[in-house]
Amino acid sequence: MAYQEEQAERQRVVVETPNSRREVRTEAVRYPDRSGLTSAAMAAIVVGIVVLVAIILLFVMYRQQDTTNANVASQQPPQTTIVQQPAQQPPVIVQQPATQPAPVIVNNPPATAPGVGSTGRDDSSIQAAIDKKLSDDPIFSTLGIVATVANGRVTLTGAVKSETLKAQIERAVRNIKGVKSIDNQITIG
């Protein structure tokens, strides 16, 4: 039977009494129970209400955050972009006393015949060794001492705070292989 249709039930009941026996027919009509919503409809309504409340809460929170951001942005000064340039090393300035002639620096020495001599190659290796020695030492690297090499002769320039430090730098450079002589022009100040 369908849900919407009436449900009828017929029964045959026999009633016996001491004098007689008779048969009674009864017919009972039952109507379906229509006192509420189905569980599926109720679940759909609950889910719809939860979704609606969530959307309203998100909308309200977004509006509050938007007004808060607008207030903060209006109170802050405009942002400026700072672009950092790579650090440039200052130029090396070598000052010689007026009494001495300026040293001659040869960048590309002429090629020599084998066995004649190789002072250009020796000077570059000596220069590299001195630069490494001065930059690797934590005390010497902060002083800004400049060394130039020409034919195995080293000229030291710069400024230090004490005579002891000047002597230490000279000893360190003198111990490098290939150094013939040192012109120590480091000033104390």
pLDDT in tens, 126-154: 999 999 998 898 888 888 889 999 999 99
List the Cα angle 170/174/175 in 5-degree steps.
125
Least confident of 41-45, 77-81, 99-103: 99-103
Given a cut of 80, is residue 100 above it in pLDDT?
Answer: no
Q: What is the residue type of 2? A: A
Mean pLDDT of the 160-171 span: 91
**What is the model's pLDDT at position 19?**
82
Across 21-36, b (16+ Cβ under 10 Å) vs e yields eeeeeeeeeeeeeeee
> Which residues are within 8 A (CB) of 141 and not within 5 positions of it... i.e. 6 or more apart?
134, 135
Least confident of 8-22, 36-50, 52-66, 91-105: 91-105
Of 59 and 97, which is predicted with more confidence? 59
Mean pLDDT of the 104-127 span: 63
Q: What is the residue type of 146? A: V
Nearest to 177 by CA among 142, 149, 138: 149
Alpha helices (H) in 76-142, listed in sequence order: 119-136
**What is the model's pLDDT at position 1?**
46
CATH architecture of the domain covering 119-188: 2-Layer Sandwich (3.30)
Domains in the chain: boundaries: 119-188
Distance CA 131, CA 141 (A): 9
Distance CA 108, CA 127 (A): 15
Q: Could you tell me how many helices (H) and strands (E) the chain has, helices first? A: 3, 5
Identify the H or E element spanning 30.
strand 21-30
Given a cut of 80, is residue 81 above it in pLDDT?
Answer: no
Q: Please, how many CA atoms are within 13 Å of residue 21, restricted to the half-sphere of its CB?
A: 1
Nearest to 25 by CA among 43, 10, 3: 10
